[in-house]
């Protein structure tokens, strides 16, 4: 188990100054925002960015591209492009929004589990530490007397 040797090689070869911070952001489904304008359409992260927890962002971008390609294949005039791009948005909205909501739910659940685990660990640590600290302070008090 564990990472393959190639990954260890890359990690060891990476200099401190080469490491960059890339923040990740969750986005709500783009229900009210336009996906297309004229003959231009947004797809992938540009229209439904999501956290990588489910490994679905790239898959959703590929599904978008597949739907667009499929729809464009069946037209014969440029004037039809705008119409099929609107259809693309209607075809993809529910599916991509469902995946986004699943990712948001998973992120919130993991955050809740982590918070509960940390709170429980801290409470147990403090509870266990209390008798010892009480014993220490009472023995210090009896020494003073």
Q: Which of 9, 10, 34, 52 binds ligand FAD (CB under 6 A)?
A: 52
Answer yes or no whether residue 91 interacts with ligand FAD by CB under 6 A: no
Distances (CA, A) of 132 to 119, 125, 139: 21, 11, 11
Out of 28, 34, 58, 83, which residue is the one contacting ligand FAD (CB under 6 A)?
58
Size of the site for ligand FAD (CB under 6 A): 11
Q: Which stretch binds ligand FAD (CB under 6 A): 4-12, 43-51, 83-91, 108-116?
A: 43-51
Task: Give CA angle at 129 (123, 134), nearest 5°.
Answer: 125
DSSP 77: S
- Determine, following the binding rule CB under 6 A, whether residue 61 of this chain makes contact with ligand FAD: yes
How many CB atoms neighbour CB 106 within 10 A?
Answer: 13
Closest C-alpha among 47, 129, 56 to residue 93: 47
Among 59, 69, 114, 135, binds ligand FAD (CB under 6 A): 59
- CA atoms of 38 and 81, how far apart (whole Å): 8
In the set 10, 46, 116, 135, which binds ligand FAD (CB under 6 A)?
A: 46
> Phi first, then psi: what are they for 37, rounded to 5°?
-145, 115
Three-class DSSP category at 40: strand
* Minimum CB distance to ligand FAD, residue 5 (Å): 21
Q: Establish if 7 lies at the interface with ligand FAD (CB under 6 A).
A: no
Report the nearest approach of ligand FAD to the CB of residue 41 (Å): 12
In the complex, the residues that contact ligand FAD under the rule CB under 6 A are 24, 44-46, 52, 55-59, 61
């Amino acid at each position: 188990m564990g990472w393959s040797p190639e990954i260890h090689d890359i990690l060891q070869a990476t200099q401190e100054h080469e490491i960059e911070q890339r923040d990740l952001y969750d986005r709500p489904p783009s229900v009210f925002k336009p996906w297309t304008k004229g003959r231009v359409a947004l797809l992938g992260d540009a229209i439904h960015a999501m956290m990588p927890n489910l490994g679905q962002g790239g898959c959703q971008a590929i599904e978008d591209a597949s739907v667009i390609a499929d729809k464009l294949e069946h037209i014969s005039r440029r004037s039809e492009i705008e119409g099929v791009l609107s259809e693309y948005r209607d075809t993809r909205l529910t599916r991509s929004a469902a995946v986004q909501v699943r990712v948001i739910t998973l992120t919130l659940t993991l955050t809740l589990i982590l918070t509960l685990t940390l709170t429980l660990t801290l409470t147990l640590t403090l509870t266990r530490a209390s008798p010892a600290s009480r014993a220490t302070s009472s023995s210090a008090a009896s020494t003073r007397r």
